[in-house]
Amino acid sequence: MALFKRKQDPTPSALPEDIVLPQHVGIIMDGNGRWAKKRGLPRKAGHREGAQTFRKITRYASQRGIRYLTVYAFSTENWKRPEDEVGALMGLFKSYLEEALTDFKDDDIVVRFIGDKSGFSPELQALMTENEESSAARGGMVLNIAMNYGSRDEMVRAVKNICADVQSGRLDKEQIDERTVSDYLYTAGQPDPDLIIRPSGEYRISNFMLWQSAYTEFVIMNKLWPDFQKEDFDEALRIYSQRNRRYGGV
Ligand code: IPE
Ligand code: IPE
Ligand code: MG
């Protein structure tokens, strides 16, 4: 049986028609382990359930008209977890990435990966590339899947690349500005996230999009990721629409 079976989407709940939608939403998909623990299940059961939520919310975000969605799936720090948990996650990524080749086709979703791909097995890396190449020409929402992603790691990599380009003469040191730095990150060319949602009630950023989130609105929700529903996504959009973004002005 397919690990991720496509289910019929219920009709999205009503949101005011004049709602201000974020263009780019980030989600720190947290709380899988606690979800499993509450049920006396192994942590990997929580990750399995979390993967289902990921599919549901991704398609829903696209149907809601979100242009960019970035989901945090595996951090550069998550390698320090017990070997069997990391192994289970890698297995889940493999099954998922095989299915993702066709999964998001109907919604015209462009799949991209942000993070250091070289940390994964050649098989996983090939699947990531295949997903990116086969979806690149689509015209719908851009889905960034952050895997082996760490914002500090991303910035170190950007600094190295900037230095290399200055050294080779491709880049003039005097011309470096904020835009240049953005252009050397994995998210080059994309707008910064307007809204970052963190389920599971943790009030921290855990190395996610540090540069990009300078003026992002944060919504922390007291729900574990596997319990996260479309209504919760709408609730985050509603909270976002009521925020007054000032960017340092008045
Ligand atoms: C998020 O859920 C998934 C990953 C980090 C891979 P967690 O596994 O962190 O769940 P909690 O925070 O322990 O509940
Ligand atoms: C952040 O969650 C990473 C992902 C959701 C992939 P963590 O569970 O790793 O973060 P901490 O350890 O609570 O800060
Ligand atoms: Mg966690």
> Can you give the pLDDT at residue 211?
98
> What's 132's domain CATH number?
3.40.1180.10
Tell me if residue 30 is catalytic.
Answer: yes
Q: Which residues contact 201 (CB under 8 A, 6 or more apart)?
A: 31, 220, 221, 222, 223
DSSP state of 173: G
Identified catalytic residue from 9, 18, 32, 78: 78
User: Is residue 172 annotated as a catalytic residue, yes or no?
Assistant: no
Q: Is 109 part of a structural domain of the chain?
A: yes
How many helical (H) and strand (E) elements, i.e. helices and strands, does the chain have?
Answer: 7, 6
Three-state secondary-structure class, residue 147: strand
Q: Which domain holds residue 99?
A: 24-148+194-239
Residue 4 maps to a domain: no
pLDDT per residue as tens, the chain (250 positions): 344 444 455 455 678 888 999 999 999 999 999 999 999 999 999 999 999 999 999 999 999 999 999 999 999 999 999 999 999 999 999 999 998 888 899 999 999 999 999 999 999 999 999 999 999 999 999 999 999 999 999 999 999 999 999 999 999 999 999 999 999 999 999 999 999 999 999 999 999 999 999 999 999 999 999 999 999 999 999 999 999 999 999 9
Res 14: pLDDT: 74
In this predicted structure, what is the pLDDT of residue 11? 55
Residue 94: predicted pLDDT? 96
Tally of structural domains, the chain? 1
Is residue 18 domain-resident? no
Ligand 1 pocket: which of 28, 29, 34 to mutate (most atoms within 8 A of CB): 34
